[in-house]
């Protein structure tokens, strides 16, 4: 399978398109992971804020933590 892929990538044009598509996939993956990390950080902040362990400086900037439902 790998040999077939390498045989197809022998032309310069195919290699360029393969490299470009791989770059697009990697950038997309990085964007998704960055978004997930950002959401996890905000969730952690809201948990600390509701527990009274953090100041509300993000609230002063306009971020609203979702209300905690029992």
In this predicted structure, what is the pLDDT of residue 63? 75
Let me know: does 45 contact 54? Beta carbons within 8 Å. yes
Where are the chain's structural domains? 12-60
pTM listed for this prediction = 0.63
What average pLDDT values come out for the chain (70 residues) when binned by 10 residues? 74 84 97 95 84 74 72
């Amino acid at each position: 399978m790998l040999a077939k892929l390498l045989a197809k990538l022998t032309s310069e044009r195919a290699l360029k398109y393969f490299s470009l598509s791989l770059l697009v996939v990697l950038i997309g993956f990085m964007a998704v992971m960055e978004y997930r990390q950002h959401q996890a950080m905000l969730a952690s902040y809201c948990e600390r804020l509701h527990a009274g362990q953090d100041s509300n400086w993000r609230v002063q900037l306009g971020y609203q933590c979702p209300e905690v439902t029992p």
